[in-house]
Amino acid sequence: MAMNDSVNILNSAYLAVEYIDSFLPDNPLQQPFKNAWNYMLDNYTKFQIATWGSLIVHEVSYFLLCVPGFVFQFIPYMQKYKIQQDKPETWEKQWKCFKTLLFNHFFIQLPLICGTYYFTEYFNIPYEWEEMPRWYVLVAQCFGCAVIEDAWHYFLHRLLHHKRIYKYIHKVHHEFVSPFGMQAEYAHPLETLILGTGFFIGIVVFCNHVVLLWAWVICRLMETIDVHSGYDVPLNPLHLVPFYAGARFHDFHHMNFIGNYASTFTWWDRIFGTDSQFIAYKEKEKRQQLIMKK
């Protein structure tokens, strides 16, 4: 009975969104996107699309999303939004991070990406435009992927902080006490594999078109670069996502090497009490701000 009720609720939600969508104006970008997608299908093989297309989406998205945080360090006005103002970025650290990223991207992640084609073939994942899910289905699927990845990340990330194994793997990621956007994927190769597995679980569960692979890559990169940015910028649209953790939440983890283990949401840390130090820290900040106002 409960399962039927859940299905009915989801169906009703989809119908409601479809009804609202019918009143929205046509997306002016849809036809150019359709033309580009069909051109890609006509001129490249599925292996090329799944492998090199996925690599291009990842690399372009990653470094473009890093640009705002990189530029902020040169804008004096933005420094008031930097969380750890006493620890500015340095060229030496950023160059070291960049070199490690290139190694991880091309020697760890690229071999994994090469398996994308075989994954889509094994599960008969379509590439055709006509079978592409609507935007609201993609949004729901990406949210579902984020929920799954967040659970995986919380428990495995917390395990990587265990005193017996921390110094061998996860310590690399914590080399930078004050994180910056490009550092989001700065990690030991084993950590890239261990925590990266959570990314693929949602794909296995939800994937019904190759476009979800790319949509979820962009969403995940947007989130992880934001929480590692080191800047708590107001009017951040990601804060509209329910239970979103944000940069200040994760920055505290880098400052203290403990607590706030989840990647995207706050509920696992709240359930297990691993955000207690962060909550106490925020209360202390509020009291200090009240004193300064007086």
Residues 218-252 pLDDT 10s: 999 999 999 999 999 998 999 999 999 999 999 99
CA distance 54 to 48: 9
Cβ neighbours for 62, distance < 8 A, ≥ 6 positions apart: 105, 185, 221, 225
Instruction: List own/partner pairs for 187-196 with CB under 8 A and 24 or more apart.
Output: 187/104, 189/104, 189/107, 189/108, 191/160, 192/104, 192/108, 192/109, 193/108, 194/156, 194/160, 194/169, 195/152, 195/153, 195/156, 195/157, 195/160, 196/109, 196/112
pLDDT at 66 (0 to 100): 96
- Residues whose CB falls within 8 Å of the CB of residue 213, separated by 6 or more in sequence, listed in order: 50, 54, 116, 203, 207
Token match 């640009």: residue?
A: 67
3-state secondary structure at position 265:
strand
Tokens of 276: 């207690």
The b-or-e profile of 283-292 (16+ CB within 10 A means b, else e) is eeeeeeeeee
Q: What is the pLDDT of residue 17?
A: 64
Q: Residue 6 has what pLDDT?
A: 43
Rounded to whole angstroms, how far apart are CA atoms 208 and 138? 10
pLDDT of residue 166: 96
CA atoms within 13 A on the CB side of 12: 6
d(CA 22, CA 2): 30
Q: In the chain, which stretches have pLDDT less than 70?
A: 1-24, 290, 292-294
- For 259: left if phi > 0, alpha if psi spans -120 to 50, otherwise beta; the answer is left
- Classify 82 as helix, strand or coil: strand
- Count of helices and strands (H, E) across the chain: 13, 0
pTM: 0.90
pLDDT for position 28: 81
| Range list of β-strands (E), 42-198 | none
pLDDT of residue 16: 63
Work out the angle at residue 188's Cα, subtended by the Cα atoms of residues 186 and 190, and round it to the nearest 5 degrees: 130
Backbone angles phi, psi at 250, to 5 degrees: -80, -30
What pLDDT score does 292 carry?
Answer: 65
Identify the three-state secondary structure at position 242. Answer: coil
